[in-house]
Amino acid sequence: METKALKAKAVQVRMDLLRMIHGAKTGHTGGSLSNTDILTALYYRVMNIDSQNPKWADRDRFIASKGHSVESLWCILADLGFFPKEELKTFSQFGTRLIGHPNNKVPGIEMNTGALGHGLAISVGMALAAKRDGRNYRVFCLMGDGEQAEGSVWEAAMAGAHYKLDNLIGIIDRNRLQISGSTEDVMGLEPLEEKWSSFGWHVVSIDGNDMDTLVKTFEAIPFVLDQPTLIMANTVKGKGVSFAENVPHWHHHVPSDAELEKALAELSATLELFKQEGQVR
């Protein structure tokens, strides 16, 4: 998918996830909106995957370590045909597969996640297995910035560098907000880039909501042979919905009927602008 189309697709994913959360009356809205551009770039352009063969041995792997922000991922997997889009209406309902965190009973999900701090360690194991099995697949792991306070993240970071896993890509959704407020007030992280560099990772800091930059960065990996990559994706929590952006309350706020209508109107206007610019039909 071309970059212009990716931008429009990200808007559509945001609209889908807002409808899904509103219908379920539960969800993590802010973080799903912030990570939508990252996931859109990965799933529609960068990763080697096949929705008709989700267990393909040479597929790239994606681990959503910040598993609570699963809504954007569910919408993308449904849109790509990993499961019927109609199933999105069952999100977080009794008996559904589409629970509030990644569930590996669903095609396209590699691992149950959500207990923060575990995803990178899982990803290290997968990347190491690829090296030892002589396979070329890559492992992408999306972490939250609040998650960086977990000690297991740093144990996994040491292991990734030790085993020279240049097929391992860590991504931090650096929106600077977590459930209880600013990351720097809850548990200061800075200088975060320098910390990851000191653990032996090649660090690239980018605008994580800019599709052109995301695609260019992902397609340049690996930057250094025998060294894992850490992408510091600076994002806006609640991205795409003006009254939700950078508002801590929207971490797990469910939009009201009026808020949903207003948010969809904003996103529809953005799509219409893309149409006028020739970015989408």
On whether residue 168 sits in a domain, the answer given is yes
- Supply the CATH number for residue 56's domain: 3.40.50.970
Tens-place pLDDT, residues 171-214: 999 999 998 889 999 999 999 999 999 999 999 999 999 999 99
Q: What is the pLDDT of residues 35-85, one digit of tens each?
A: 999 999 999 999 999 999 999 999 999 999 999 999 999 999 999 999 999
pLDDT at 281: 54
Whole domain around residue 147: which residue ranges? 3-276
Q: Residue 202: inside a domain, yes or no?
A: yes
Hey, which residues does 170 pair with through a beta bridge?
141, 230
Whether 163 maps to a domain, the answer reads: yes
Q: Return the structure tokens found at 160.
A: 């990734």
Compute the average pLDDT of residues 132-155. 98
pLDDT at 248: 93
**Token digits of residue 156:** 């996994």
17-42: per-residue pLDDT in tens?
999 999 999 999 999 999 999 999 99
DSSP of 181-239: EEHHHHS---SHHHHHHHTT-EEEEEETT-HHHHHHHHTT--SSTTS-EEEEEE--TTT
Question: What is the spatial distance between Cα 254 and Cα 273, in angstroms, rounded to a whole number?
Answer: 27
Taking the C-alpha atoms of residue 156 and residue 259, their distance in angstroms, rounded to an integer, is 40
- If one counts the domains in the chain, the total is 1
The answer as to whether 160 is a domain residue is yes
Is residue 281 one of the residues assigned to a domain? no
Quick check: is 72 in a domain? yes
Structure tokens at 201: 């990772």
Domain annotation covers residue 196: yes
pLDDT at 274: 86
Q: When comparing pLDDT for 11 and 180, which is higher? A: 11
Query: pLDDT digits over 221-280, tens only?
Result: 999 999 999 999 999 999 999 999 999 999 999 999 999 999 999 999 999 998 887 655
How far apart, in whole angstroms, are the C-alpha atoms of residue 146 and residue 235?
Answer: 13
